[in-house]
Chain A
C-alpha cells in the first residue's frame, strides 16, 4: 500500500512539476533572449514578470478554438495531444534521485527512444490534417528530420549503454560514479546534443516550423489551446532532453554535498540555458545542409564512436 501511495505521489508531483517548469521555461526563455539582445523581456506582470505565463495561459484558453472547415477534424484534434503525451511518457524512465522515478524499467533507454519516435506522429499528422501546403511541408520536414536524427539519438546512446553494461537508467547513473560519461563519450555527447536539438525541433534545427519560410510550419492552422499543447510539448521536450543529457553523460544525481535531486535540477537547468543560448545565437541551416550534415558527417561519426568504444571495451576484458 505504501508503495502505491509513493509512486502515485511521484507521478502527480512529476506531472505538476514538469508542467509548472514548462510554463516557467517560457518565461525564462523570453527573459534570457531579451537579456542577450539588450532588452528586458516580460517584466511587468508580477515580480520580474513571473506571472506573464499565467496571463498568457488565460489568454490562450479564452481564445476561439478554431478548426478550419477544410481540416481533417478527428486527426486535427488528436495530433497536438500526441506530442505532450509521448514527451510526458518519456519522463517515466528519468531517475531524478535514487528511487525517485516512475518506473525502474530494465529497458529504460529503449523506452525513451520508442516514445520520442512516436512524438513525430504529432507533427506529421498535425501537418497533414491541416490540409494546408505550408503545414504539410512542415510535417514532411519533421518526418525526414526526425527519421535521420532519431538514428543518432540511438547510436550515440549505445556507447553509454556499452560502458554501463545496462539499459537501466539507474544502473547507467551508478556506473558513472568513478567518471562521468561526458569524458569517455564526448563524441556521443556532442551527437546526442545535436540530435536532441533536432528531436525537440529547437531553433538552429527548427525546420519543421521555420517561421520565415513556412508561416509556422506544421502548426500554422492551430489556435487556442491546441497550439498551446504543441508549444507545451516543445518545452517539455527541452526539459526531457536536458535531463537525459544530465542522466546519460553528466552523472545524473551524483555530486558532492547537496542532495541528489538538487544536483539533478542544477545540471538540467544548465543544459536548458544552453538550449536557449543556442536559440539566441545560431542561424537556421538550409534543409539540404541539415540532411547532408546528418547523413554524411554525424552518421559516420556516431558509427566510429560506437566501434572505438566497443573496441576499447573488448581490449580491456
Chain B
C-alpha cells in the first residue's frame, strides 16, 4: 500500500522535470560528428576526386546499394565513371566508409533526405560529390601512398623508402 502511494507521488514529481522531447521541425536535435547520415564523396585538398573506384565500398555494402563503374584518365589514374547510391536501400551502416582506402566515401550528419517519389532517392555521382574534404582535411591518398610517374616507380626516388612488400613477413 505504501509503495503504491509512493509510486503515485514519484510520478507526480515528474511534472517538474525537464521534458525529453525535442520539438523536431521547430527545434533541431544536436547531431554528433560521427552520426551516420547522408553519404557523400569528398575531394582531396587539391580539388581532385579522392575516389579511385576500387569497388571496396560496393563489395562491403550489405544491401548492395552502391553501384559504380571504374575508368582511367589519360595518366592512368582510376576514377569512377558513374557512382550511384540507392538511398531507398541504404541502411546507413557505415561499412562503405570503413572499407574506403582513400577516405573518399564518408557519412555525414545530414538526415533530412525524405522524398515524395522513390526514384528521387537514387543519388548519382554529381549529387554525391562535394567540393570539400569532409572529415579528413589535408589528406591526399597519393601523397601518402606515392604514385608512379613516367620513368620512376614508387619508392625509387632518393628521399623515399620502397613500398612495403605485402607478400613477406620480414620487416
Q: B149 in the interface, Cβ–Cβ < 8 Å?
A: no
| Interface residue ranges of B63-121 to A (CB < 8 Å) | none
18 A–B pairs (Cβ distance < 8 Å), ordered by A: A35-B14, A36-B12, A36-B14, A37-B14, A38-B14, A38-B17, A38-B19, A39-B19, A39-B20, A39-B21, A40-B19, A40-B21, A278-B8, A280-B11, A281-B7, A281-B12, A282-B7, A282-B8
Beyond the given pairs A35-B15, A36-B15, A277-B12, 11 more chain A to chain B contacts, judged by CB atoms under 8 angstroms and listed by A's residue number, are A38-B14, A38-B17, A38-B18, A38-B19, A40-B21, A40-B23, A278-B8, A280-B11, A281-B8, A281-B12, A282-B7
Residues of A close to B21: CB separation below 8 A: 38-40
| Interface residue ranges of A278-308 to B (CB < 8 Å) | 278, 280-282
Q: B4 in the interface, Cβ–Cβ < 8 Å?
A: yes
Interface set of B (CB-CB < 8 Å, partner A): 4, 7-8, 10-12, 14-15, 17-21, 23
Complex: A205 Cα to B20 Cα, angstroms: 29
Among residues of A, the one whose C-beta sits closest to the C-beta of B25 is A44
Is the beta-carbon distance between A281 and B11 smaller than 8 angstroms?
Answer: yes
Main secondary structure of the interface of A (DSSP, over half): helix
From known contacts A36-B15, A37-B14, infer whether A277 and B8 are also in contact, taking CB-CB under 8 Å: yes
State which size class the interface on A falls in: 10 to 19
Taking the closest CB of chain A, its distance from the CB of B19, in whole angstroms, is 5
Residues of A close to B14: CB separation below 8 A: 35-38
Residues of B close to A281: CB separation below 8 A: 7-8, 10-12
Complex: A92 Cα to B125 Cα, angstroms: 73
Residues of A close to B11: CB separation below 8 A: 36, 277, 280-281
| Interface residue ranges of A20-43 to B (CB < 8 Å) | 35-40
Complex: A36 Cα to B23 Cα, angstroms: 17
Among residues of B, the one whose C-beta sits closest to the C-beta of A33 is B11
Task: Name, among A35, A277, A278, A281, the residue most crowded by chain B CB atoms within 10 Å (CB to CB).
Answer: A281
Is the beta-carbon distance between A38 and B20 smaller than 8 angstroms?
Answer: yes
Main secondary structure of the interface of B (DSSP, over half): helix
Complex: A281 Cα to B12 Cα, angstroms: 9
Among residues of B, the one whose C-beta sits closest to the C-beta of A281 is B11
Residues of B close to A37: CB separation below 8 A: 14
Residues of A close to B15: CB separation below 8 A: 35-36
Taking the closest CB of chain A, its distance from the CB of B75, in whole angstroms, is 58
Residues of A close to B20: CB separation below 8 A: 38-39
Interface string of A36-59 (1 = CB under 8 A from B): 111110000000000000000000
Taking the closest CB of chain B, its distance from the CB of A85, in whole angstroms, is 33
Residues of A close to B4: CB separation below 8 A: 282
Leading 4 A-B pairs by shortest Cβ distance: A281-B11, A281-B8, A36-B14, A38-B20
Residues of A close to B18: CB separation below 8 A: 38
Residues of B close to A39: CB separation below 8 A: 19-21
Residues of B close to A38: CB separation below 8 A: 14, 17-21
Among residues of B, the one whose C-beta sits closest to the C-beta of A279 is B11
Complex: A40 Cα to B15 Cα, angstroms: 11
| Interface residue ranges of A245-295 to B (CB < 8 Å) | 277-278, 280-282
Among residues of A, the one whose C-beta sits closest to the C-beta of B26 is A44
Taking the closest CB of chain B, its distance from the CB of A55, in whole angstroms, is 18
Taking the closest CB of chain A, its distance from the CB of B162, in whole angstroms, is 62
Taking the closest CB of chain B, its distance from the CB of A305, in whole angstroms, is 17
Taking the closest CB of chain B, its distance from the CB of A198, in whole angstroms, is 16
Complex: A38 Cα to B10 Cα, angstroms: 13
| Interface residue ranges of A157-179 to B (CB < 8 Å) | none
Complex: A278 Cα to B8 Cα, angstroms: 7
Complex: A35 Cα to B20 Cα, angstroms: 10
Taking the closest CB of chain B, its distance from the CB of A172, in whole angstroms, is 28
Taking the closest CB of chain A, its distance from the CB of B122, in whole angstroms, is 33
Residues of B close to A40: CB separation below 8 A: 19, 21, 23
Complex: A197 Cα to B4 Cα, angstroms: 15
